[in-house]
């Protein structure tokens, strides 16, 4: 069994080629061979973490057990590898520089001039090794964000070049993902951009062992041979990843082309099998029988990456139930002018997490519609809070709101968490990460989770105002999940409704391909029933 091995994933030509999925897929193949695998994402930006970044530009902020607010690729790693990662598995330029500058201020560098090489690169190298060691991994994948040639990623590439030298060639595999464009009517696959990006890598001192070529169609034999020749890799090391229906097919695709065997040979070990369960899961996704239409009423609906964990949680639940979840993206602001026709024909409505007042009224209208028309509803975080506001407004007839939306509201049914008052810094200051939740017996939540104590991940600053709990419950909404100290409301549900449940936490972050999140499973199941009823 090899140990202390690294697979470094770089990207060439342009970004957005699905490097994260490639990294996750390679990790899965190795895990199925019996190795303990971990993965690190390097983001060459100056933010210390993704928590302060706009999901509209950057995609979802993923939340880890330890409360780390990280790049969405860590969500892919967790889903494919079925592991829980820590904040340290996401390295950013900001984090690295912060550490080095703090050391410099403490005087740790003993009067030396502090420089990018060797001090920043040492910090990066030590960080990678520390994470690999701490997670007891046989193999550590390191994905370097951005594209080779970017100024930002230079120190990281230099650091992994040094790592290669330090730990030895037999312990490091360089995998380069690139785009193979197709030009002209004959559809010739062009390898020149790939040649150039590999040339750039080699100038830095990195020789790729494997090249993954992204293109719409599979790479032709001649294309693979050409890449092999010009980029100095064996033909078996040139792997083709065409567009596929589901991201979960990628590991199977890589395996079929011999990547597992290639890596086993490189690491000097024997191959065993274990992809059957995964193949079965992919089959279920691809051959789903029934289709159910679910609306997501959100704010960042132009970029589905903003809600990637929710989309994946639907895939997991759908595969389990043999159904395809067809997501309809509904911009919340479009529901603010009295016309709710966009909600017609939906079998389920989800209101996800969010911040601020824009679109809040549209979300409230969608919740009212789901509640009154007996349409399955799942609310997450902000969606949970707005479900409480909706109930207060329309059932308790209170002129109420969340103080996040209206600080002067007469009835603040949602208020700032007491420990959040006075917090001014934005980065990493919310109620973050895993907390235990107690579930009331005999409720829908209890039925779905099948236990009375669970742990789920959080990311919020506001909560249900304790002063209104009794009043709300008297009118029928049940708080079926509460924090371990019973102070915080975590789940709300409506008995008698087909399926109406909302959680302060984010169930989507813990959904895994072969283990769908209970709330998503229940929601899709109820939506399927609705679909059968109406069709």
Instruction: Verify binding: residue 284, ligand GLN, rule CB under 6 A.
Output: no
Instruction: Verify binding: residue 462, ligand GLN, rule CB under 6 A.
Output: yes
What is the torsional sign of CA 465, 467, 471, 473?
positive
Report the nearest approach of ligand GLN to the CB of residue 113 (Å): 44
For residue 478, give the nearest of 507, 455, 501 by alpha carbon. 501
What is the torsional sign of CA 310, 315, 319, 323?
positive
* Residue 144: both structure tokens together: 């370097």
Which one among 355, 396, 428, 452 touches ligand GLN, defined by CB under 6 A? 355
- The CA distance from 315 to 326, in Å, is 10
Task: Report the residue number, 382 or 435, with the smaller CB distance to ligand GLN.
Answer: 382
Task: Report the residue number, 14 or 357, with the smaller CB distance to ligand GLN.
Answer: 357
Report the nearest approach of ligand GLN to the CB of residue 457 (Å): 10
Beta strand 139-144 pairing with 37-43: parallel
Out of 231, 381, 390, 404, the active site residue is 381
Instruction: Verify binding: residue 51, ligand GLN, rule CB under 6 A.
Output: no
- The CA distance from 312 to 331, in Å, is 20
For residue 335, give the nearest of 352, 353, 359, 355 by alpha carbon. 359
Helices (H), 183-307: 192-204, 221-231, 250-256, 259-266, 276-286
3-state secondary structure 70-130: ECCHHHHHHHHHCCCCCHHHEEEHHHHHHHHHHHHHHCCCCCCCCCHHHHHHHHHHHHHHH
The span of 5-13, 134-142, 453-461, 466-474 binding ligand GLN (CB under 6 A) equals 453-461
Identify whether 381 is a catalytic site residue. yes
Identify whether 231 is a catalytic site residue. no
Report the nearest approach of ligand GLN to the CB of residue 86 (Å): 21
- Binding pattern to ligand GLN, positions 299-338, x when CB under 6 A? ----------------------------------------
State the Cα angle at 63 between 59 and 67, rounded to 5°: 145
CB 207 within 8 Å of CB 193: no
Instruction: Verify binding: residue 508, ligand GLN, rule CB under 6 A.
Output: no
DSSP state, 145?
Answer: -
Beta strand 5-11 pairing with 238-242: unpaired
105 bridge partner residues: none
Which one among 459, 488, 497, 530 touches ligand GLN, defined by CB under 6 A? 459
- Binding pattern to ligand GLN, positions 385-424, x when CB under 6 A? -------------------x--------------------
Which one among 461, 498, 512, 529 touches ligand GLN, defined by CB under 6 A? 461
Exposure string of 213-238, with b = 16+ CB inside 10 Å and e = fewer, is bbbeebbeeebbebbbeebebeeebb
The span of 15-23, 231-239, 315-323, 456-464 binding ligand GLN (CB under 6 A) equals 456-464
Report the nearest approach of ligand GLN to the CB of residue 363 (Å): 11
Contacting ligand GLN within 358-387 (CB under 6 A): 381-382
Instruction: Verify binding: residue 109, ligand GLN, rule CB under 6 A.
Output: no
Instruction: Verify binding: residue 456, ligand GLN, rule CB under 6 A.
Output: no
Instruction: Verify binding: residue 52, ligand GLN, rule CB under 6 A.
Output: no
Task: Report the residue number, 19 or 459, with the smaller CB distance to ligand GLN.
Answer: 459
For 490, residues 6+ apart whose C-beta sits below 8 A from its C-beta are 437, 456, 479, 481, 482, 483, 503, 504, 505
Identify whether 463 is a catalytic site residue. no
Compute how many residues bind ligand GLN; rule: CB under 6 A.
10
Q: Which residues form the interface with ligand GLN (CB under 6 A)?
A: 353-355, 381-382, 404, 459-462
The catalytic residues are: 381, 506, 508
């Amino acid at each position: 069994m090899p140990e202390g091995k690294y697979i470094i994933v770089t990207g060439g030509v342009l970004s957005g080629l699905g490097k994260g999925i490639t990294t996750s897929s390679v990790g899965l193949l190795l895990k199925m061979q019996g190795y303990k695998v971990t993965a690190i994402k390097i983001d060459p930006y100056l933010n210390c973490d993704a928590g302060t970044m706009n999901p509209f530009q950057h995609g979802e902020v993923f939340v880890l057990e330890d409360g780390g607010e990280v790049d969405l690729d860590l969500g892919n790693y967790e889903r494919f590898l079925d592991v829980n990662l820590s904040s340290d598995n996401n390295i950013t330029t900001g984090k690295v520089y912060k550490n080095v500058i703090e050391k410099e201020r403490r005087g740790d560098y003993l009067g030396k001039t502090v420089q990018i090489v060797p001090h920043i690169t040492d910090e990066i190298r030590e960080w990678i090794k520390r994470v690999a060691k701490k997670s007891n991994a046989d193999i550590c994948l390191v994905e370097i964000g951005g594209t080779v040639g970017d100024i930002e990623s230079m120190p990281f590439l230099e650091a992994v070049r040094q790592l290669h030298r330090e730990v030895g060639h037999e312990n490091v595999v360089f995998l380069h993902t690139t785009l193979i464009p197709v030009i002209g009517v004959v559809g010739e696959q062009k390898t020149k951009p790939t040649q150039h990006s590999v040339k750039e890598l080699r100038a830095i001192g990195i020789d790729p062992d494997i090249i993954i070529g992204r293109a719409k169609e599979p790479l032709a034999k001649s294309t693979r041979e050409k890449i092999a020749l010009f980029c100095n890799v064996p033909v078996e090391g040139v792997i083709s990843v065409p567009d596929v229906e589901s991201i979960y097919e990628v590991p199977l695709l890589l395996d079929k082309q011999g990547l597992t065997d290639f890596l086993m040979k490189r690491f000097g070990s024997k191959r065993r099998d274990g992809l059957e369960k995964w193949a079965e899961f992919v089959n279920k996704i691809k051959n789903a029988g029934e289709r159910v239409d679910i609306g997501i009423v959100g704010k960042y609906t132009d970029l589905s990456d903003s809600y990637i964990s929710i989309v994946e949680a639907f895939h997991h639940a759908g595969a389990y139930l043999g159904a395809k979840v067809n997501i309809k993206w509904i911009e919340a602001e479009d529901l603010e002018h009295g016309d709710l026709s966009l909600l017609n024909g939906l079998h389920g409505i989800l209101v996800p997490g969010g911040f601020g007042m824009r679109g809040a009224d549209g979300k409230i209208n969608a919740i009212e519609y789901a509640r009154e028309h007996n349409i399955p509803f799942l609310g997450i975080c902000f969606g949970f809070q707005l479900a409480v506001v909706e109930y207060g407004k329309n059932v308790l007839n209170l002129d109420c709101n969340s103080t996040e939306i209206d600080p002067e509201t007469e009835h603040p049914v949602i208020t700032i968490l007491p420990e959040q008052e006075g917090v001014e810094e934005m980065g990493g200051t919310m109620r973050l990460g895993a907390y235990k939740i107690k579930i009331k017996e005999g409720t829908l939540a209890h039925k779905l989770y099948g236990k009375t104590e669970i742990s789920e991940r959080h990311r919020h600053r506001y909560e249900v105002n304790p002063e209104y709990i009794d009043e709300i419950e008297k009118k029928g909404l049940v708080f079926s999940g509460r924090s371990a100290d019973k102070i915080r409301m975590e789940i709300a549900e409506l008995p008698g409704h087909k399926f109406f449940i909302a959680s302060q936490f984010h169930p989507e972050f813990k959904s895994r391909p072969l283990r769908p999140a209970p709330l998503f499973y229940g929601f899709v199941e109820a939506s399927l029933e609705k679909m059968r009823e109406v069709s």
